[in-house]
Amino acid sequence: MNQLPLFEHQFRAMGGPCRLRFACADDGLAGRVITAAETEVRRLEQKYSRYLPDSLTSTINRAAGAQQSVPVDDETAAMLGFAHTLWQQSDGLFDLTAGILRRAWDFRSGRLPAQSAIDRLLPLIGWQQVQWDASSIRLPLAGMEIDFGGCVKEYACDSVGAVLARHGIERGLVDLAGDMVVVGSGSALEPWSVGICHPRRSGAAIATFSLAAGSLASSGDYERCMVVDGRRYGHILNPLTGRPVQGLAAVSIAAPQCLVAGGSATIAMLKPQGEALAWLAELGLPWFAVDSAMACHGELGER
Amino acid sequence: MSGPADKRPTLLALTSSALLLPAYQGVRADAAPEFIELGMRYSKYEEDNTQGSKTFGGSSQRYDIDAAQFHLLAPVADNWAVAVDVQWEDMSGASPWFVGQSLDGGPKVIMSGASIEDTRTEVSVTTRYYYDRGNAGLNYVRSKEDDYDSNAIALDGSFNSADGMTTYSGAISTSRDDIEPTQGSVPTNTLKNDKDISSAWIGVSRIVSKNAIVRFGLAYTYREGFLTDPYKKNDKRPGERNEWAFSTGYRHYFFWPDGALQADYRYFDDDWGVASHTLNLAWHQNLWRDTQLIPFARYYSQGEADFFANIADTDKRYYADDYRLSSFGAVTVGLRVRQQIGNWAITAVGERYETDESWGVYSGDESPALVNYWRYSFGLDYVFR
C-alpha cells in the first residue's frame, strides 16, 4: 500500500485534550473526516455531560425525586444497560449514582470530610434504587444524580473510530485524553506507539506500547488526590463506604472496544490492590497496572 | 473472590452489553445515509427464440430488453434522505399472439411477428425519514410507454423493538394504470382502458442469534379493471383479482468461511386459481476485504389459472392461452460479483432462466410458449465520502 499523507487534528473536549491522526489521500476528505469526528465527540458531550445544563444527564438529575420518569433514546438505554452490567460485574463498586460523593470530598481543600457529611450522601447512592427500562429512567430520591463519566469518553472513542471507518479511513488513531482506538487493522500496517502516563509524574510516560488494532483505555488516580497527615487519598471513591479506595495507582486495558476496556479498567481501580490484580489476571484481556509503590504488573506488550 | 470460571463471563457480559450501543452496529438499516450515492446500471434481458417445432411459421424471435438505470441517494438533513431512480428500457421482438392446434393435434404458438418496438421510462422518487427506532418512506413512481402509463404511490414504515432484536414493517401502495394499445399488426382487445392496483404488506424480522436472522411476511393485492392482455388474441380475464402471498426467509452468517447463507420461500395464491411456490437460495461469500461472490439459485413452480387452456375455448366467460397463466416449473441459476475499490463499487450479474411444464409440482398442459432467457447486468456505484 502506498504511504498516504498523515493528517492530525487536536481539540479539547470532554475535559481533556483530544487528538486524531489518520492517513488519507485527499485534503477535502480529510477535512470532512475531521468535522464529522469532532461533531460526534461534541454530540456525545452535549448529550451526556453533567456540567451542561441542557444535557440529558442534567435533565435526568433535575427530575430526581419527581413522580414522572424521563424518556430516553435507544443509545442512552443501551448505555444504561452497559452501566448496569458494570455494576453487576463489580458487585456494586461501579455505580452511576456515586458521583455525588464529590459534594463531600473536596480534593483541593486538603481536608478530609466529616463522616457525617459522607453519611448524609450514602442513602442517595445505589444503582439498585434507580428505576429504568429501555425507554425511560427515574431517580426516586431528590438529590440523587447519575454521571456517565465512567463510560462516555470511552464510547466516544469507539464512535469516532466508527466515523473514520465509515469515511473509508484505513489507518488512524483516535486519542481522547488517553483513551485510544485504532482504526484499520492488518499486519501490513505499522502499529501505533502509545505512551501511558506516569501516575505520579505529570507529563512523563511510565510505559510505551505498540497498538496495532483495537483500543486501549486507562484509568488512574493521578488526576485528583490529596495527602492528609502523610496519607494519600485518591479520587476513586467506593460507593458503598463513601471513602477512597486503597487500590492500584493506574490501570490500562486493551480490548476490541474502548468501552469494554475502559469499564474494566474502572472496575479494577475500584477494587483493593490485591483483589484488583487477581481480577485482572482472570479477565481475559491484555492489561498493565501500576501499584501504589509504582511497581508495574501485567503483560500488555513490550515496554 | 470468584474463580476463573466466573471471570470469563465478566468479559462476555461486558462485551455483549456494550455491543448493543449504536456505534458498534456498523451502518445500521435505520441510520440515515451520511453521503451522496450515485449508481448506474446497464442490463440486458434476452429471451431464447421459441423452438421452431413449437411455432406455426412466422417469426420465432422473442423479446429482448435493454435497460439503463440511474440511482441517486442524497441525505437532505440529519434524518431525511431522498432517492431518485430513473430507468429507461428499450424492448423489441415478438410475443406470443395465440396458441393454435396443429394438424397432429398438439398446440403450437403463433407469434405476433417482430412488430413490437417500445421504450419505457420510469421515474421513482422516494423520500425517507429516519427516526430513533426505524424509518418511513413515501414513494411515487411514474412509468410511461407508448401504450401504457402508470402512476403509483406507496407508503412504508418499519419499527424496531426496544431490544433492537425485532423489526416490524408494513407498506401500502396504490396505482392507476392507463392502457392504450398500439394499433398495428394484430387486432387488440381494447382501444383504451385502465386498471387499479392496491396492495398491503406486513412483515416481521427477528435476530435469533448473533449470526442468524429470520423473517416472515404477508401480502395482499387487489387488482380491478382491464386485466386482460390487450395484444393476445384469445384472452379475456375477470375484472378483479385478489392475491395473497406468504413469505419467509432465513439468513445465517458463518464465521468460517466468512460467508452467509440466505434461504427464502414464498407461497402465492389467488382467486383465479393460480398458486405458486418460490424457493430462493444464495450464498454470500466474502473474499479478502472488498470482494463478494454470490452464487444463487431459484426454483419456481406455478399452477395454472382456472380459465387457462392451451387451446382457448372462446365461448366461455373467461379464457386465456397466456403461458404466464399456465402450469410450469422454472429454475434460475446465477452469479453476482461485487468488487469494492475505494469509494467505487462494481457489480456484475449473470443469470440463466429455464422453464418446463414437467419441472413443476402442479399438473397441467404444457404451453408451447414457455420461454427461457439470459439476463446480464453491470453496475457502477460511487459514494461521495
Quick one: pLDDT band at residue B49, thresholds 50, 70, 90?
A: confident
How many CB atoms neighbour CB B15 within 10 A?
Answer: 20
Q: Is B42 on the interface with A (CB under 8 A)?
A: no
pLDDT at A299 over 70: yes
Among B6, B17, B34, the residue to mutate for chain A (most A Cβ within 10 A): B17
- The residue with greater pLDDT, A150 or B195, is B195
Average pLDDT, chain A: 89
- The residue with greater pLDDT, B318 or B207, is B318
d(CA A271, nearest CA chain B) in Å: 11
Q: Is A217 on the interface with B (CB under 8 A)?
A: no
Exposure class string for A133-146: b at 16+ Cβ within 10 A, else e: eeebbbbeeeebbb
Q: Are A82 and B21 an interchain contact pair (Cβ–Cβ within 8 Å)?
A: yes
DSSP state, residue A235: S
pLDDT at B7 over 70: no
d(CA B338, nearest CA chain A) in Å: 17
Amino acid at A46: Q
Structure-block grid coordinates of residue B67: 435497460
Q: Is B166 on the interface with A (CB under 8 A)?
A: no
Q: What is the pLDDT of residues A235-251, one digit of tens each?
A: 788 999 999 888 899 99
Q: Are B13 and A88 an interchain contact pair (Cβ–Cβ within 8 Å)?
A: yes
Q: Is A166 on the interface with B (CB under 8 A)?
A: yes
Residue from B283, B301, B302 nearest B293 by CA: B283
Nearest CA in chain A to B288: A186
Nearest CA in chain B to A278: B1
- How far apart are alpha carbons B87 and B125 in whole angstroms? 12
> Which of B13, B133, B343 shows the shortest C-beta gap to A74?
B133
What is the average pLDDT across A182-200? Answer: 77
Q: Are B21 and A259 an interchain contact pair (Cβ–Cβ within 8 Å)?
A: yes
Q: Are B162 and A278 an interchain contact pair (Cβ–Cβ within 8 Å)?
A: no
pLDDT at B327 over 60: yes
pLDDT at B309 over 70: yes
pLDDT at B296 over 90: yes
Q: Are B17 and A82 an interchain contact pair (Cβ–Cβ within 8 Å)?
A: yes
Q: Is B341 on the interface with A (CB under 8 A)?
A: no
Q: What is the pLDDT of residues B52-93, one digit of tens each?
A: 667 766 556 678 999 999 999 999 988 899 999 999 999 888
pLDDT at A1 over 60: no
Q: Are A257 and B133 an interchain contact pair (Cβ–Cβ within 8 Å)?
A: no
Q: What is the pLDDT of residues A74-125, one digit of tens each?
A: 899 999 999 999 999 999 999 999 999 988 988 888 888 999 999 999 999 9
CB B150 within 8 A of CB B141: yes
% of chain A surpassing 70 pLDDT: 96
Q: Is A279 on the interface with B (CB under 8 A)?
A: yes
Q: Are A155 and B23 an interchain contact pair (Cβ–Cβ within 8 Å)?
A: yes
Quick one: pLDDT band at residue B164, thresholds 50, 70, 90?
A: confident
Q: What is the pLDDT of residues A248-293, one digit of tens each?
A: 999 999 999 999 999 999 999 999 999 999 999 999 899 999 998 8
Cα A274 off chain centre by: 22
**Residue B52: predicted pLDDT:** 66
Q: Are A78 and B7 an interchain contact pair (Cβ–Cβ within 8 Å)?
A: no
Residues 6+ apart with CB under 8 A from B267: B245, B246, B247, B275, B276, B277, B278
Q: Are A82 and B14 an interchain contact pair (Cβ–Cβ within 8 Å)?
A: yes
Q: Are A85 and B164 an interchain contact pair (Cβ–Cβ within 8 Å)?
A: no
Domain ranges, ordered by start, for chain B: 98-108+133-384
Q: Are A259 and B18 an interchain contact pair (Cβ–Cβ within 8 Å)?
A: yes
Structure-block grid coordinates of residue A234: 485518591
Q: Is A154 on the interface with B (CB under 8 A)?
A: no
Quick one: pLDDT band at residue B3, thresholds 50, 70, 90?
A: very low
> Which of A84, A86, A167 shows the shortest C-beta gap to B385?
A167
pLDDT at B29 over 60: no
Q: Is A76 on the interface with B (CB under 8 A)?
A: no
Each as own residue / partner, the long-range contacts of residues B60-64 (CB below 8 Å, 24 or more positions apart, any chain) are: B60/B111, B61/B93, B61/B94, B61/B111, B61/B114, B62/B93, B62/B94, B62/B95, B62/B111, B62/B371, B63/B91, B63/B92, B63/B93, B63/B94, B63/B95, B63/B116, B63/B371, B64/B91, B64/B92, B64/B93
Q: Are A81 and B17 an interchain contact pair (Cβ–Cβ within 8 Å)?
A: yes
Q: Are B1 and A167 an interchain contact pair (Cβ–Cβ within 8 Å)?
A: no
Residue from B297, B306, B305 nearest B324 by CA: B305
Q: What is the pLDDT of residues B334-362, one digit of tens each?
A: 999 999 888 899 999 999 999 988 898 99
- The CATH number of domain B98-108+133-384 is 2.10.109.10: no
**Residue B114: predicted pLDDT:** 58
Q: Is A75 on the interface with B (CB under 8 A)?
A: yes
User: Please, which residues bridge with residue B217 across strands?
Assistant: B203, B247
Q: What is the pLDDT of residues B268-282, one digit of tens each?
A: 999 999 999 999 999
> Which of B7, B19, B164 shows the shortest C-beta gap to A283?
B7
Q: Are A73 and B132 an interchain contact pair (Cβ–Cβ within 8 Å)?
A: yes
Model-level ipTM above the cut of 0.85: yes
Q: What is the pLDDT of residues A38-52, one digit of tens each?
A: 999 999 999 999 999
Q: Which of B25-29, B163-167, B233-237 ranks highest by mean pLDDT?
A: B233-237
Q: Is B164 on the interface with A (CB under 8 A)?
A: yes
Average pLDDT, chain B: 89
All structural domains of chain A = 56-146 (1.10.3980.10), 191-303 (3.10.520.10)
**Residue B4: predicted pLDDT:** 36
Q: Are B15 and A257 an interchain contact pair (Cβ–Cβ within 8 Å)?
A: yes
Among B1, B6, B15, the residue to mutate for chain A (most A Cβ within 10 A): B15
What is the average pLDDT across B298-306? Answer: 96
Rg (CA), chain B: 24
Q: Is B21 on the interface with A (CB under 8 A)?
A: yes
| Chain A hits for B288, Cβ within 8 Å | none
> Which of A36, A75, A256 shows the shortest C-beta gap to B22?
A75
Q: What is the pTM of this model?
A: 0.71
Q: Is B157 on the interface with A (CB under 8 A)?
A: no
Structure-block grid coordinates of residue B189: 382487445
> Which of B23, B342, B385 shows the shortest C-beta gap to A162?
B23
Q: Is A59 on the interface with B (CB under 8 A)?
A: no
Q: What is the pLDDT of residues A156-178, one digit of tens each?
A: 999 999 999 888 888 999 999 98
**Residue A87: predicted pLDDT:** 95
> Which of B3, B7, B162 shows the shortest C-beta gap to A135?
B162
pLDDT at A37 over 50: yes
Q: Are B132 and A82 an interchain contact pair (Cβ–Cβ within 8 Å)?
A: no
**Residue B5: predicted pLDDT:** 40
